[in-house]
Amino acid sequence: MPKNTGWDTRRPWGNWRPPKVPDGPPPVWSERLVVAGAAALYVGLMLAFEVYAFAEVTFESWAPSDGPGGGLLALPFSMCCGVPVALWVNLAVVLPVVWAARRASGRLHGRDAWWWVPAIAVVPACLITVVVAVTLRPGPGTLALTWLAGEALIAGPGLLAREAGLHGRRLHPRIFGYGAVAVAVVFGIGMTAFRIGLLTEYHPPQVNAALLAGTWADGHGGTLSLNADGSARAEGLTDHESAYADNADADRAKYRCTGPGTWVYEPGEATTWDQRLNVSIERCGFDDFNEFVDSGWLISGTPEHPKLVRLYGDLDAPGVYTLTR
């Protein structure tokens, strides 16, 4: 009896057989899942950046923000750092969540259930929230938004990566296509919210010399007294600029200063952003009347609770010294 060699004479191409395709979804770290997860995460980061650009306009600040238009113009340039960051976070966080969800779902249900991805994503989202709470100490509302953003930015790309692994060979172009539409929709919604008054752009309160007269404190024992006759006096005020120049801790007593001086209020020409409080206290190193020094105290806060803000250090990333009444 002749030996079966597997040669099929009925096929013109001989005994060639197509390679077997393994059953089930591809490995979590396959090319398809890596690309889909990174693409979805990049789109999510861009949407989060756009939403933050809208929200930033409403935040109390010492300087006007670039606004949503500036944020939108920055989106194309974000690919330089956004794509590598999305790829790294996808490999370090998103795909491990997909892998853990696949393992847990298989062991407990015997099948790959999609809802395990957002369930597992709760763990890293909570860890991110804890880190933000410890380092920045924001309020409860900010922590809630941090957790929600973390959950969305992990679970969303994870679900799309899972979908690409199961049957989404053409999912990658759709992620970027739908992402571009989402960016346009978010921009339209944000501009409409400002136009109809649901969101309001922040502006410093309008003040005058009479309102500024009084005692202002830094919350750490330092005060600045502004008298109605134009005289001023510092008591334990901190000279951050000198500490920054010495690369030293500004809390040291060496950089606390006390002495008399003068002050004057400048209302500015166009908007409340142009307001300045010029103070000259020799012992504190404050000489805002020097025409060669672009300094002075900025006005911030609200009409009910105005603040005096002085910048120091690096002009590109300055420190902020704040006094409240």
pLDDT of residue 22 exceeding 60, the answer is no
> What confidence score (pLDDT) does residue 281 get?
86
What would the mean pLDDT of 312-324 be, rounded to a whole number? 86
Q: Which burial class, exposed, middle or buried, applies to 14 when counting CB atoms under 10 A from its CB (0-12, 13-18, 19+)?
A: exposed
pLDDT tens digits, one per residue of 98-140: 999 988 888 887 777 888 999 999 999 999 999 999 988 888 8
Query: What whole-number distance in Å separates Cα of residue 267 and Cα of residue 272?
Result: 8
Higher pLDDT, 17 or 300: 300
Residue 244: pLDDT band with limits 50, 70, 90: confident
Q: What percent of the chain has pLDDT over 70?
A: 84
Which residue's entry shows tokens 């994503």? Answer: 121
- Range in 7-21, 27-41, 97-111, 264-278 with the lowest mean pLDDT: 7-21
> What confidence score (pLDDT) does residue 94 get?
93
pLDDT of residue 24 exceeding 70, the answer is no
Higher pLDDT, 121 or 166: 121
> What confidence score (pLDDT) does residue 72 get?
65
pLDDT of residue 303 exceeding 80, the answer is yes
> What confidence score (pLDDT) does residue 13 get?
47
Query: What whole-number distance in Å separates Cα of residue 50 and Cα of residue 54?
Result: 7
pLDDT tens digits, one per residue of 55-97: 888 888 888 877 666 666 666 677 778 888 899 999 999 999 9
Closest by Cα among 150, 158, 147, 38 to 88: 38
What would the mean pLDDT of 256-260 be, rounded to a whole number? 89
Across the chain, what does the average pLDDT equal? Answer: 83
> What confidence score (pLDDT) does residue 147 get?
93
Are 46 and 79 a contacting pair, CB within 8 Å? no
Are 232 and 308 a contacting pair, CB within 8 Å? no
Residue 17: pLDDT band with limits 50, 70, 90: low
Query: What whole-number distance in Å separates Cα of residue 116 and Cα of residue 70?
Result: 38
pLDDT of residue 163 exceeding 90, the answer is no
Query: What whole-number distance in Å separates Cα of residue 293 and Cα of residue 280?
Result: 12
Query: What whole-number distance in Å separates Cα of residue 281 and Cα of residue 264?
Result: 12
Classify 7 as helix, strand or coil.
coil
Higher pLDDT, 7 or 184: 184
> What confidence score (pLDDT) does residue 269 get?
77
> What confidence score (pLDDT) does residue 107 get?
82
Residue 282: pLDDT band with limits 50, 70, 90: confident
What would the mean pLDDT of 21-34 be, rounded to a whole number? 68
294 token code pair: 């672009």
Report which listed range, 144-148, 252-256, 292-296, is most confident: 144-148
Classify 54 as helix, strand or coil.
helix
What would the mean pLDDT of 177-200 be, rounded to a whole number? 88
What would the mean pLDDT of 135-164 be, rounded to a whole number? 88
Q: What percent of the chain has pLDDT over 90?
A: 30
> What confidence score (pLDDT) does residue 98 get?
92
Higher pLDDT, 108 or 192: 192
- Range in 1-15, 18-32, 204-218 with the lowest mean pLDDT: 1-15
H helices present in the chain, as ranges: 31-56, 67-74, 79-89, 95-109, 116-136, 140-167, 171-195, 209-212, 240-245
Are 87 and 36 a contacting pair, CB within 8 Å? no
Which residue's entry shows tokens 């309160």? Answer: 205
> What confidence score (pLDDT) does residue 122 get?
94
Q: If you write DSSP's letter for every residue of 88-126 in order, what string do you get?
A: HHIIIIIHHHHHHHHHHHHHHHSS--TTHHHHHHHHHHH
